[in-house]
Homo-oligomer: A and B are copies of this chain.
Amino acid sequence: MDQQLPHVVIIGAGFGGLTAAQSLKHAPVRITVIDRTNYHLFQPLLYQVAMAGLSPAEIAAPIRSVLRKQKNAAVLLAEATGIDFDEQTVNLRDEQHEEKLRFDYLVLAIGGRTSYFGHDDWEKFAPGLKDIDDAVEIRRRVLLAFEAAEKDYDPQRRRELLTFVVVGGGPTGVELAGAIAELARFVLARDFRTINPQSAEILLLEGGARILPSFPPDLSESAQHQLTELGVKVRTNAQVTNIDKNGVYLGDEMIRAATVIWGAGVRATAMTQSLGVELDRAGRVRVEPDLTIPGHRNAFAIGDMTLFLQDGKPLPGVSPVAMQMGRSVARNIQNDLAGKPYEHFRYFDKGNMATIGRKAAIAEIGKLHLSGFIAWLAWLGVHIFFLIGFRNRFAVLFNWAWSYFTYQRGARLITGRKMNLPS
């Protein structure tokens, strides 16, 4: 790479950061993409890893492979710990070194993490789903609960082991609840001798009046109906007041459950606090209309770590928003290099969908409201189309076809050094 070219440093290789890097392929810049992991994660299918439908490698692609042919881009495995806007440097850290990297343009795309709304002590009882390690941990807990139930002859304890509570009726919570129901009803159905996995109770708790509140009411209703068909009990207006090793508390009511999964909140990573700019309550950066960080004309922030109001409403934390932001930032960097002004960002909403299970989903595409099989087909098509890399696309399609026809799951491994059975 030509060291004389302006240096674009992109932190985070999620949908936003990677799209920004790829959109600068032909720009007269050199690019460094920094990430804490060596892979780009196809987050919309992460719940499939948590439910043993897919292997981690099937929804992740090495960042180096994705950018192999883009000669103006380098990849560094490291963690960004801070930014010095005056010196135009990023502090990088790995286990061995700290170092500083100079930038001419900075793109922050570090994503979000699970938010427990101030109750971080709930995390160990109710893991969230943000990365592969989370997904493997949830897979482990769910599969171990069935294993422990098979060995436990105490009916009360067995009932607790076979009770699964998912907190949060957003897309993640709905996907997880539907997937647990399918696992229990179909995949594991005939694998045990002393328990009947189909007797498992799956509860989806939503604090608000309806699940999937970002969708129109008729689709929320359809989703709830489809979940009920699958055997999930949906409870709305259910405000969780505490979670501990015994289960979930809703005010005076207590639900005993060995497995609780958190699908409720997302907030920005702690790193945003070091930026010295105004943040919202979830720690997100209130970016300017051109996606720059207030007060810093050559530094942008995109994706889940940002708060961007469009027509008075915040944009949702979904991958199409992050990708469109990445493209806009790439255009603005090129505008700037050409002496042209920055464009303002505007999100073009192509539609919104949520999956519930096999042949069950909802989709809102403009004025069109779809649900059931047709929505699921649309969801499947879009997700396979956008999966990074031909190989993954093919492997995922094969795995889905396989489990569609056989109800087998390939990734039902309980891994990790310790044999932590649920307490």
Contact = CB atoms under 8 A, between A and B. Distances in A.
A413 B191 contact: no
A96 interface: yes
Copies of this chain present: 2
Contact of A412 (B55, B62, B414): B62
Contacts of A75: 150, 193
Residues of A in contact with B, size category: 35 or more
A412 B150 contact: no
A164 B77 CA distance: 20
Contacts of A192: 64
Contacts of A411: 55, 57
B421 A65 contact: no
Given A55-B57, A415-B136, A95 B421 contact: yes
A37 interface: yes
Contacts of A77: 144, 147, 150-151, 414, 419, 421
Interface string A396-422: 001100100010101111111111110
Interface centre among A62, A75, A191, A419 (most CB of B within 10 A): A62
A56 B133 contact: no
Contacts of A394: 398
B191 A62 contact: yes
B395 A391 contact: no
Interface centre among A148, A194, A419 (most CB of B within 10 A): A419
Nearest to A410: B57
A398 B57 CA distance: 14
Interface string A56-81: 11101010110010000011111100
A218 interface: no
A121 to B, nearest CB: 19
A22 B354 CA distance: 43
A194 B32 CA distance: 12
Nearest to A418: B95
Contacts of A188: 64
Nearest to A94: B421
A194 to B, nearest CB: 8
Interface of A: 1, 36-39, 55-58, 60, 62, 64-65, 68, 74-79, 94-97, 132-133, 136, 143-144, 147-148, 150-151, 188, 190-194, 391-392, 394-395, 398-399, 402, 406, 408, 410-421, 423
Given A64-B192, A95-B421, 12 more contacts: A58-B410, A62-B191, A62-B412, A65-B191, A65-B408, A74-B194, A77-B150, A77-B419, A94-B148, A94-B419, A96-B421, A391-B408
Which 4 A/B pairs are nearest by Cβ-Cβ distance?
A64-B191, A57-B411, A55-B55, A77-B147
